[in-house]
Amino acid sequence: MENNSIAVGLDIGTTKIVSMIGRRNEYGKLEILGVGKSKSLGVHRGVVNNITQTIQSIQQAVQGAESDSDFKITEVVVGIAGQHIRSLQHSDYITRTNADEVIDDGDIDLLINQVYKLVMLPGEEIIHVLPQEYKVDGQAEIKEPIGMYGGRLEANFHVVVGQVSSIRNIGRCVKSSGLDLAGITLEPLASANAVLSQEEKEAGVALIDIGGGTTDLAIFKDGIIRHTAVIPFGGNVITEDIKEGCSIIEKQAELLKIKFGSAWPGENKYNEIVSIPGLRGREPKEITLKNLSKIIHARVVEIIEQAYLEIKNYGHEEQKKKLIAGIVLTGGGSQLNHLKQLVEYITGMDTRIGYPNEHLAGDSDPDMASPLYATAVGLVMNAIENQSKVVVEEEVVEPPTETAPAEEPAIEDNEEHTNTSAPIQSEPKKERKSIFEKWADKLKDFLDNAE
């Protein structure tokens, strides 16, 4: 049990791959046992474009976490993002055969499975079906229909769709790295788990996770996820612009951005200059910080405006859909100086930087509370949650066998009895599966057959 509560999250990003081992301590906080980080070489804008390099980067990150913690990593929960992810709203219903029986998990499963059968564009697959509100016999705004009577069960769904090949490539990389896939989570959801409070989700909040290759957006209102989007720009395009605009190499451009970069040009004076060593015997280059922040500002404005457009598409300007808690920025790109002020200026919404420190144990390394690790922390939390669900379900399954000691000898004599009773006992377990588990099972089967 002690070892079972240890979980591993694997964040496969465009700039870095992070492997994080954690467990829940006695206070319910997340204790980080080991972290491994490697440069991500085979991923472009969240999509694998070089299998061999990605496998090497994953193995490097996993080895780093193993040597940091003395634990052997066998299975991981992986985050998926990338420009191929899109979301849509869909309504569906089922007519129940017996309206005199109460609605149970089976009815909701039936409704969700019906949504999974929607026809998508070629090469796309539904990876996430999130029920929002239910209707029972026309009665609207029901959050939990289980236990109610009704003949027609209806629901609005938030459906997340992704490119099959991109997701299978990630699965193949994980498997080829010698790891089992314990689960798959949409990265904006993992980041949201790590940095948002329940109050913010209730009030209405937009999480903007600025990564290296992509910017992920997740919008919550009334505690339910309402909208997700992936914008195909991130911190790397800012570095690329600095490289082109200042005629310097990428490594220098990245350092300039981190050390002297600002999203607000008004902060720097024209006489503030930074000198960069020239290449092999060439003269050093002098760059004014004013020009540097102008280059950064132009690209950041573009990213924020794209994110704000998605927030408006969700309907933030309607009174009922207003995001009272504003915007939370996280991810490596959120560490850019004066970004918070710029976002508030462009959107007119309250903004804060999201740190995953709320869920971390008190003695954690301060570096782990950086927005850089928000997704990895969220993935570990998700993995632990899935494990605890399985443990609870196993405990629920045990009592029926204990309450019928008289029948035990008969069961032992007849093998058929054990077979027929097993599905009945494990039924709650099947019905309580998380939304991603069925899909992860399908992916595992595909990868096994591909070999």
Kindly tell me if the per-residue pLDDT of 45 is higher than 70: yes
Give the least confident one: 1-10, 281-290, 318-327: 1-10
* Residue 380 covered by a domain: no
> Side chain identity at 344, as an amino acid letter?
E
Closest to 141 measured CA to CA, from 67, 223, 196 = 223
**pLDDT number for residue 297:** 94
What's the pLDDT at 407?
43
* DSSP type of residue 355: -
Residue 367 in domain: no
Mean pLDDT of all residues in 289-302: 93
Please report whether residue 442 resides in a domain: no
pLDDT at 440: 62
Percent of the chain whose predicted confidence (pLDDT) is above 90:
51
| Band of residue 304 on the pLDDT scale cut at 50, 70, 90 | very high
Q: Where is average pLDDT lowest: 20-29, 194-203, 362-371, 419-428?
A: 419-428
pLDDT digit string (tens) for 146-166? Answer: 999 999 999 999 998 999 898
- Can you list the positions of beta strands (E) in 242-344? 273-276, 285-288, 327-330
* pLDDT score, position 391: 56
Query: Does residue 71 form part of some domain?
Result: no
Can you give the pLDDT at residue 445? 66
Strand duo 30-39 + 43-44: pairing? unpaired
What's the rounded Cα separation, in Å, for the pair 397 and 427? 9
Residue 381, in any domain of the structure? no
What is the domain-level CATH number for residue 289? 3.30.420.40
Return d(Cα 312, Cα 308) in angstroms, integer.
6
Residue 248 within any structural domain of the chain: yes
| Total number of residues shown for the chain | 451
pLDDT for 431: 43
Q: Is the pLDDT of residue 69 over 70?
A: yes
pLDDT at position 403 over 60: no
Quote the tokens at residue 153. 């069960």
Q: How many domains does the chain have?
A: 1
The CB-side HSE value for 281 (13 A sphere, CA atoms) comes to 0
Model confidence pLDDT, tens digit, residues 242-258: 999 988 899 999 999 99
Quick check: helix, strand or coil at residue 63?
A: helix
> Residue 350: which pLDDT band, with cuts at 50, 70 and 90?
very high
Mean of pLDDT over the chain: 84
The pLDDT assigned to 428 comes to: 42
Q: Is the pLDDT of residue 401 over 50?
A: no
pLDDT value for 385: 85
The SS3 call for residue 153 is: strand
What are the two backbone dihedrals, phi and then psi, of residue 278, each rounded to the nearest 5 degrees?
-75, 165
The maximal CA–CA distance of the chain, rounded, in angstroms, is 91
- C-alpha 128/C-alpha 183 separation (Å) is 12
Question: What's the whole-model pTM score?
Answer: 0.82
CA distances in angstroms from 311 to 297, 317, 321, listed in the order given: 21, 9, 10
What pLDDT digit, counting tens, does each position of 4-41 carry? 578 999 999 989 999 999 999 888 889 999 999 999 98
Residue 240 lies in a domain: yes
Closest CA to 43 of 5, 97, 103, 84: 84
Residue 402: count of CB within 10 angstroms of its CB? 8
Could you tell me the residue range of the domain that residue 244 belongs to? 235-299
Distances, alpha carbon 82 to alpha carbons 85, 207, 216, 230, 232, in Å: 6, 16, 9, 7, 7
pLDDT over 70 percentage in the chain:
85
Query: Could you tell me if residue 197 is inside a domain?
Result: no
What is the pLDDT, as a whole number, of residue 422?
38
The yes-or-no verdict on residue 332 having pLDDT over 60 is yes
